[in-house]
Each structure stands twice: as structure tokens, then as C-alpha cells.
Structure 1
Amino acid sequence: MSDFTVDTSRPVLVTGATGYLAGWIVKQLLEAGVTVHATVRDPSNHAKVGHLIEMGTKLPGELTLFKADLLEPNSFDAAMAGCGIVFHTASPYILSVADPQRDLVDPALKGTRNVLESVNRTDTVTRVVLTSSCAAIYGDTGDCADAPGGILTEEIWNTTSSIDHIPYSYSKTVAERAAWEMANAQDRWRLVVMNPAGIYGPSVGGPIPTSESFNLVRQIAGGDFKSGAPHLETGKVDVRDVAEAHLRGAYLPDAEGRHILAEKAGTIIDMGAAISAAYPDAHVPRRTMPKWLVWLIGPMVNKALTRKTVSRTIGHSWRADNSKAQKSLGLTFSDSDKGLVEMYEQMRDAGVFTK
């Protein structure tokens, strides 16, 4: 990160600091000597915040924990006081939920509005870096075929997801749209958005945080797909690259707009092969399950895998243009498969996988 300057004169706020990606953002900020205000649900829950406190003790920067709730108005005012930059990472990443409105849309949308309303009340804030997702660009992989040239770009918005069809992607879309609406209604602070694909790599807070990325790796290497894996292709990116992109988006003077963060695409079989190359005894899938079979049994295995989702997702290619992140942010992408293997190693060492 020597090609840009990190301003340590003002503190910064990181929301949802116990999250998988947020942990790496906090770590990189503290390593750079920044004073970090980190919001969490319960600062007294050592099992959740212990790793953050340890980083604050050992690294050059300073860390202060604040209690905040995405659904509570004014909840972020105290943590944001005096901050120059806000990193808003807090948002649920869960694919199968009982109530999509309550569990996904409300925290994502109302949470974003509550954070940005605090920004509007805090005159020291000059920039907000929002963790959105490629899910706000496309809803299912079939959308890639409908994109110009079959390639996703930052100009494209997800128009196919809804509260009933891939509600996670819908939650990320409406939250980012709301952020742009609020940003464009004022001229004091600038919004910079990160749109990562599937994020992989080790965690700073333990081997099994609440992230769907870890759930997928657990399924891939834990034998869940022993009879075959669906041909599901998605983008992949290393978690440390995504964290660095957030810092670059915060401190590069000309950073603006949306940024697709994806190193390459791969299927479940490809991910299993990367793990198996390093650990031949891993119980990874070797065969692709026919689409008709996924269509037939998918909804019985996972209610999020509806027949519409299978039809629009399984068997389609995923392509995206990551050139803006490389050119505008100066980001060099790491090998996402290497991060994936490190993630597997961390989970393996923790006893997540049993024969």
C-alpha cells in the first residue's frame, strides 16, 4: 500500500466490525496507524470482539469499540463523532432465511439509511466507502448473458431480484441504490462503492465466522456434494484484496463510483480442485450434477434454491470486467484460489471437517 497515503489525522468508523471482511479492514487500518472507531452489537461479548481488542493492542493504530444497531436511528452518532471516513460494511450475508424482509432487506436498507443519516449529521465526514456486492449488479448468472457482450460492468444494475427471488441480492441492490440517492442529495461527502464477488481467504477472527463463503467451503470440502455438485459459476476474490480496495477507495483522492472486485470466475468443481491440489484427502466433489436433477431436488435440499433460481443460475457462465478496480484504484488482484486454500486450511486446523 505504499503507492498511496493513509491519513491518520482523523479517526475512521468501521461498521459491523466483527464481520469477516470488516476484520481485515480494521487490521489494515490499524497496521497503517489509523485510529479506528468500530461498531459492534455488544462490546462486552469477548468471544465476538476479543480478536479486535487484541489487534488494537498489538498494532500501531488505536481501536475503540462502540455499541450500535443497524435498525436503531441515531445509533451510529457517537461512534462517528470526529471521524473523517466511514466504512459501512455491516449487512447480513445469509442466503436462506425465514423472513427475507426482516432478516435481509430491513438490516441492509434501513441500516444503510441510518448510517448515512448519521453521516449527514457529522460534518467531519468527507467520504463514505460502502461495501455493496456484485449482487447489486446481477441477480442470477443468467443476467450475465443479458449484459452487453456478456460481461458485467459497473454501469449495470440488478433488476431481476426481488423479495421472493434471490432476496439477498435484492437487499444489496436496494441498499446501494438508497446510498446513491442520499449521496447525490448533498455535496459535502463522497460515496465510493465496492462491489465484490464471492470473498475467500482466512479470517482474522477465527475459522468459522457468519459468512456464506465459509458455509460454501464447508459444503465443498465436507462431503455435501459427494454425489455431484451443480454447475454454479461465480466470481471469486481474496478477502485481503477487498479490504485493501476499501482503503484505496477511502484515501485515493480521485476514487469515485462503483468498483467490481473479482479476480476470476470458477465453479464449485473448480474450487474443489484447487483445495484437492493442496490437500488430496479433502472430500471435494469430482462430478457435475445434471441440471435437470438440481432442478428436481434443489428446492427440497435448500429452499433458497428455487426452480426459477436453478433455471436462471445453473449452467450459465459468469463474466465481469474488473479493469476499473485495477486502473482507478491501482489494485493488483491476488490468486483467489490461494486464499481459498488458506481458508480451507484454517477451517481444517480448527476441526471443522471430520471424516
Structure 2
Amino acid sequence: MPTTVKGVISRAKGEPVELVDIVIPDPGPGEAVVDVQACGVCHTDYHYQQGGINDEFPFLLGHEAAGRVSAVGEGVTEVAVGDFVILNWRAVCGECRACRRGRPWYCFATHNAKQRMTLTDGTELTPALGIGAFAEKTLVAAGQCTRVDERAGAEAAGLLGCGVMAGLGAAINTGGVGRGDSVAVIGLGGVGMAAVVGSHLAGAAKIIGIDLDPRKREKGRSMGATHTIDPADGDVVEAVRALTDGNGADVVIDAVGRPETYEQAFYARDLAGTVVLVGVPTPEMRIELPLLDVFGRGGSLKSSWYGDCLPSRDFPMLIDLYLQGRLDLDAFVSETIGLGDVEEAFATMKRGDVLRSVVTL
């Protein structure tokens, strides 16, 4: 039987979110229902509310989540009832040309649940990133569930579902940061901070955190940055070069996603260095670079999709590192809140007061 639960929706562009009753259908073939235990408040949810993703209102917000599987549909083999899982928004298909070439982290045909959750009047909801986890339960494709060690708390584990994985993966998977490398990270929000942590995990010798906010620079140092730069103090490129023997960093990660920060990243890297764009730009943004500089500096210009992660591979590994005390996911959790506190959490996030507010249920 369909279940009625509480969930947080965005009904129209720019309007405050609402806590309402939503209907969760029984899972169909290849689907699963998950009892949500915790869900991080991500900038992407705010972008949905502001109409920055698309206009398919009303949205069921929330996507950075962990919980326990409570029902599965026909043919589901990935998970079983009772499994503790992290939800992901890129369930790989296993059949597209990227998957067939052995690169499933680039899957070009990721999928979500086929059925829609609804309001009690039957209005279909669009789940944020195909998840919709600011709710007591949510319906997803079974491939969006990754089973992990249940000793990990849901508040910390759920963050791997989006922002922390995006930043860690941008450093380790996309950027290929290795032992002894120098890394510069532009923007020390949740994703940028995770890139700092990922660079530290990978053994980088020098990690430079760049942000206007002194609180974020201080937090960056506590999470692995060896140096920090305040862009208000002068030329960021020259500051990075001054910290890298005049050469620039081996890897520069743009966790902001603006033309000016990308240009800084491009010129702050060493010759044959790597630029990774993980901050999400808006559709109207444009960048202009001298083509001779693109050729002459060599190296790689990369974009990082979800940290180029493969959830089935990366989530359990990172949870193991967390349980070993080698990855401090708890440091990303600034506060825990209830389902009714999401609107205030957006305001807190915009002020830069938190790395992550986490809804707990």
C-alpha cells in the first residue's frame, strides 16, 4: 500500500519551502523505498528552490542522504530490506558506451525511479537529483542505493552522497593528486573543503586553500591545508606561484565555478599541470582564454562529474576510512536540524556559517 509521510517541497520559484504530506508508492520493478535517517542541506537544493536547475515544480528537495531500505520491488538484487545505504544520484546503467568501455563513472544513461512520488491530491513531485530525501521515506532506483557498514552514523555517511564525494573525487579521481604533489583549491565551501581533505588523503605535500572568508580559511587549515590565501590581499595567481617556487600548483581545483575563478585556476597551475572544474557554473557564464596559452601550457583541463565516483566502489571504501579514523566525515557536520528547519538552513548556508546542516529523522 502507498505510504503517506512528511516531506519538504518547493512549490514555486523563490517561495519558502513547505513541510507537507507526500505519498510514497510501493516500489515497482528495480525500485526501492528507503527510510531516510539523515540528509545534508546542499546548495543544489537551494538552486532547485530558486529555479536554477529547471522549472519542473513542485520539487521534493534533499538528496545527500543515508538510511535503511524498507521495501524493494521485483527483480532487485543490489540491496535487500534492512540494508543501511547511502543514496546516490548517478545510478549507472551498465549498458551505455561508457559502461561498456569499462568507465562506468562516466555513465551517460544514469537512471532514477520510474514512478513519481506525489502530493496527497495526486500532484506529481520532481525529486531533487532523482532522490528527494527531505522526507521520512523516499522512492529511488535500487541502483541509487549503495550498501555500507551500518556502524557509520547516517549524519556523516549521507554526506558522501553528494558534496563530500564531489570534492574528494575531484582531487583523487579527476585530478589524480598523488604523493608529494602541490594542490590549490579555490573556494572552501563543503565541496572545496572535501577537495582539501582528499588531497591530504592522497599524500599531497602542499595544499593551498583559497577563500575570502577567514572562518573558512581557518577551517581549511584544520582539515589539511598547509597554506591559505585571501583573494582580497592581491593577485591569487601570483600568491599560488609564490608558494610553489614560482611554478604554480600541480593540480588546481576550482570549487566555485565562475569565469574569474576558472581563469585563476588556469594560470595558477604549473606547466603540464591539471585544472579541475567541480564548482557548477550557470548557463550564461562564458570564459575566454588565449588559445596559444591553452596549447603552450600543456597539461589537462578537466571537469569533474560527481567526483568521477563509482558509488559501489568509492562509498564503502570511504566509509571504511572513516571507521578507521583516517577520514573525518564528522568535521563536515556543522549542525543537525529537523525537517521543519530547512528554510532557515538555507539562510545559514548563504551566510557561510556552516559547512553542512544535516536534517536528522
TM-score (norm 1): 0.34
Q: Which has the higher strand share?
A: 2
Higher normalized helix content (fraction of residues):
1
